Structures are given as structure tokens and as C-alpha cells.
């Protein structure tokens, strides 16, 4: 029985290693995306609803606008990555309720996960139409996705700190 369990474990580890090795670029980008998407949802949840209109300065975006922008960016960029348009994600405005913004945010991250599942390293060199009708490769959209979620999590973390709250990445582990 122990030999069988060891064999099953070894095969499982080999399969997992092979799956990662098959798409090392996508796997690495996916790890960043998965981490930051969880942090963004947690940051959206952390900010009280009455602070969604908060702007550090008049020229900066509100917290709600940042979330609405992430939703829009996810739907556009992930459609480029996966090759299919987003469906079922509500269009949101910065003035929508916290609940509506978070629901759309979660839906946009779910769509991105499906889009990432639909591609591979072999497809990253494929030509896509990017913003402004420019032609580029799918890898550019993947890079933009990771850059965007990292940038906006940092922005949201700063807004939380300016509101006297700890961002999720600074909170003690539960």
C-alpha cells in the first residue's frame, strides 16, 4: 500500500512539474496575476463604502474609479489574451455601490482566469489588435495585465494607508 501511495505521489508531482514546464512564461505571469487579484479584491473589501469617493488630491482618481478602471482594463486586456470578448460583466461607474463594484471586479478576475486558461506560451507570439488598433503580440497583453494589477494594487494600498487602514499585504497573517 505504501509503495502504491508513493507511486501515485511521484506521478502527481511529475505531472505538476510537466504542466508548469510546458508553459513557464504563462505560469509565471499567472502567479503574479493570481496573487495581485486576491489582494485587489481584499483591498476593495477593506475600504469602507463611504470612502469609495476618497481622492488623496483633487487631481487623483477616487478609490471607486480605480476599481471601475481595473474592471474595464481586465475585460479589455483579458479578451485580447484569451481571444474571446467578455460577457456577463456589468459595466460599472466610480459612483456605483461598493457591492456592485466588488461584484464586477470579481467577475472581471474570473473572466481573466478563463482567458489565461485558454492560452499557452505557444500562443504568446500570436498577433493581436491592441489599444488604438495597434498590432502587437499576445505576450504584450499578458505583460500589461500583470503591470496593471500590480500598479493598481499599489495605488489602492496607498489610499488605504491614507485612510488609516492597513492594506491586505501588510496585515498580520490569519
Model pLDDT for residues 87-114, shown as the tens digit of each residue: 889 899 999 999 999 999 999 999 999 9
Domain boundaries, the chain: 23-170
The candidate with the shortest Cα–Cα distance to 84, out of 124, 109, 111, 120, is 111
Give residues with Cβ within 8 angstroms of 18, minimum separation 6: none
Give residues with Cβ within 8 angstroms of 78, minimum separation 6: 86, 108, 111, 112, 115, 116, 145
- 3-state SS class at 91: coil
Rounded to two decimals, what is the model's pTM?
0.86
Model pLDDT for residues 27-43, shown as the tens digit of each residue: 999 999 999 999 999 99
Sign of the Cα pseudo-torsion (164, 168, 170, 174, in order): positive
For 23-170, CATH number out of 3.40.50.261, 1.10.357.140, 1.20.120.450, 3.30.870.10 equals 1.20.120.450
The Cα–Cα gap between 133 and 121 comes to 23
Q: Which three cell numbers stand for residue 123?
A: 500562443
Amino acid at each position: 500500500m505504501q509503495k502504491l501511495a508513493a507511486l501515485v505521489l511521484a506521478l502527481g508531482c511529475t505531472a505538476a512539474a510537466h504542466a508548469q514546464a510546458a508553459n513557464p512564461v504563462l505560469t509565471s505571469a499567472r502567479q503574479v496575476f493570481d496573487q495581485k487579484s486576491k489582494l485587489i479584491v481584499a483591498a476593495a473589501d477593506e475600504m469602507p463604502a463611504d470612502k469609495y469617493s476618497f481622492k488623496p488630491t483633487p487631481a487623483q482618481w477616487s478609490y471607486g474609479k480605480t476599481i471601475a478602471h481595473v474592471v474595464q482594463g481586465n475585460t479589455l486586456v483579458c479578451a485580447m489574451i484569451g481571444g474571446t470578448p467578455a460577457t456577463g460583466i456589468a459595466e460599472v461607474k466610480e459612483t456605483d455601490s461598493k457591492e456592485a463594484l466588488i461584484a464586477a471586479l470579481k467577475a472581471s478576475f474570473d473572466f481573466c482566469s478563463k482567458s489565461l486558461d485558454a492560452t499557452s506560451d505557444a500562443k504568446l507570439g500570436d498577433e493581436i489588435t491592441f489599444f488604438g488598433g495597434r498590432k502587437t503580440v499576445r505576450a504584450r497583453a499578458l505583460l500589461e495585465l500583470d503591470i496593471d494589477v500590480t500598479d493598481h494594487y499599489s495605488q489602492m494600498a496607498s489610499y488605504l494607508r491614507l485612510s488609516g487602514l492597513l492594506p491586505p499585504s501588510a496585515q498580520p497573517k490569519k
